[in-house]
Amino acid sequence: MGFERAVVTGGAGFLGSHVCEALLRRGTRVVCVDDFRTGSVDNLPDDPRLGVVTEDVAKPLDLLGNVDLVMHLACPASPLDYLRTPVDTLKTGGFGTLHALELARRKDARIVIASTSEVYGDPLEHPQRETYWGNVNPIGPRSVYDEAKRFGEALTCAFRREYGTDAGIVRIFNTYGARMRPDDGRMIPTFVRQARAGEPLTVHGDGTQTRSLCHVDDLVRGLLSMADCDHAGPVNLGNPEEVTVLEVARKVVELTGSTSTIEHVDAMTDDPRRRRPDISRARELLGWQPEISLDEGLRRSFDRHLVG
Ligand code: NAD
C-alpha cells in the first residue's frame, strides 16, 4: 500500500529517522515534526521530499495539506533522557499523543502509536503477551515514561472507539542500531563506547537480567507493516531471543576486539529482571518476525558507526 504524505513525529530521533528514510524509499513524502530535544538534524536524510517542522508535540499540531499516515514516535526513549525532565516526559507522552491523534482524526489518516514494552513494567508473566496488563509502579521515577505510554494507549483506544480513528498501537521492545547517541545511556551504545575507549563495561547488578534486542532494520519493517494494515493492536514488536546483559557485554567486547573488562555497578531502580516479547500476534497479523541475529545486528551497527 502506498501513502502519499506521512507525518513522522520524533523523526529526527534514532527510530524516527530510520522510519523517515524507509518511507521516502517507498515514494512517500514525509514531514518530520520534532523539537530536537534528543534528536539531531544530522540523522535526517537530505531529500527534497522531506520537510521539517520544529515543534513540541505537547503543543497542538496543525499542518496544511493532506496527510494519510501519522507515525507517532516523539518521546525521549532513553531513561537518562526521560528522567532528566520528568514533567515534560509526561506532557510528551500525554498531550503529544493527544495532538498526534487529533491530527490523524482531522486528516482521516492511519496513525501508528509507538508504545513500549515498559507498559508491562517488571512483568510477572513471561514471555509477555499483549493480553498481559503489566506490573508498573505508578509512583516510581520511571513511571513518568511507563504511565505516560499507558495513558497514550488508553487515549488511542478511546479515539478508535469514540471517533473511529484508524489507530494502531505497537509495543516496541529494546531496539538498537546505527544513530543511537553514544551518551544516551542505553545499554548497547554505552557498551560500545566503553569498549572502544578501553574502559570497563558497566553492568548494572549481577548482569543475569535479560533483554531481547531487535535490530532497527527489523523493527522498521514491522512498524511499516503496522502502518499498511488497519489493525488496532496492540502488537508486540521485538526480538524474542533472550540474552543476559552480561552476555551482551561479552559479545560487544569480543566484536570490537576490545581489551575492556566488565565491572558490576548498582542495579537501577525498577529495572525489569526479564523482558521477552511473545510475537505470535505480529507473526499472525503482520506476517512479521525479526530476521537479523544479534551478532549480525551488532556488526551492522558498528559498520555504520553506531557511536562516534
Ligand atoms: P529518541 O530519543 O532517539 O527519539 C525521540 C525523538 O522524539 C527525538 O528526535 C526527540 O527530539 C523527539 N521528541 C521527544 N519529545 C518531543 C516533543 N515533546 N516534541 C517533539 N519532538 C520530541 O528515541 P527512539 O529510540 O528513537 O524512540 C522513538 C519512539 O519509540 C519513542 O516513542 C519511544 O518511546 C519508542 N520506543 C523506543 C524503543 C527503543 O528501543 N528505541 C523501545 C520502546 C519504545
Check: CB of residue 275 under 8 Å from CB of residue 117. Answer: yes
Cβ of 96 below 6 Å from ligand 1: yes
d(CA 206, CA 260): 17
Provide CATH code, domain 5-179+213-240+271-291.
Answer: 3.40.50.720
Q: What is the pLDDT of residues 218-248, one digit of tens each?
A: 999 999 999 999 999 999 999 999 999 999 9
Of 166, 137, 299, 304, the closest CA to residue 233 belongs to 166
Q: What is the pLDDT of residue 175?
A: 96
Cα-to-centroid distance, 27 and ligand 1 (Å): 24
Q: Where are the alpha helices (DSSP H) in the chain?
A: 14-25, 79-84, 86-91, 97-107, 143-163, 187-197, 216-228, 245-256, 280-281, 294-303
Specify the ligand 1 atom closest to the Cα of 58.
Answer: 18
Greater confidence (115 vs 196) lies with: 115
Per-residue confidence band for 308, with pLDDT thresholds at 50, 70 and 90: very low
With a CB cutoff of 8 Å and minimum separation 6, the contacts of 119 are 134, 136, 146, 149, 150, 153, 171
Q: What is the pLDDT of residues 250-261, one digit of tens each?
A: 999 998 888 999
Helix (H, G, I), strand (E, B) or coil at 85: coil
> Is pLDDT at 182 greater than 90 in this prediction?
no
Q: What is the pLDDT of residue 274?
A: 78
Percent residues over pLDDT 70 in the chain = 96
> Is pLDDT at 68 greater than 90 in this prediction?
yes
**Overall size of the chain counted in residues:** 308
Q: What is the pLDDT of residue 304?
A: 53
Q: What is the pLDDT of residue 14?
A: 96
Cα-to-centroid distance, 74 and ligand 1 (Å): 5
Cell of 129: 503477551
Q: What is the pLDDT of residue 273?
A: 75
Ligand 1, atom 33: closest residue by C-alpha: 77
Catalytic, 176? Answer no
pTM reported for the whole predicted model: 0.94
Cβ of 57 below 6 Å from ligand 1: yes
d(CA 87, CA 22): 32
Q: What is the pLDDT of residue 307?
A: 45
Specify the pairing of strand 242-244 against strand 210-212: antiparallel
Cα-to-centroid distance, 10 and ligand 1 (Å): 6
H or E element, residue 8:
strand 5-9
Average per-residue pLDDT in the chain?
Answer: 93
Q: What is the pLDDT of residue 302?
A: 73
Cβ of 174 below 6 Å from ligand 1: yes
Cβ of 37 below 6 Å from ligand 1: yes
Greater confidence (27 vs 2) lies with: 27
Cα-to-centroid distance, 247 and ligand 1 (Å): 26
d(CA 90, CA 139): 13
- Ligand 1 site-directed mutation target among 15, 44, 99, 220, most atoms within 8 Å of CB: 15
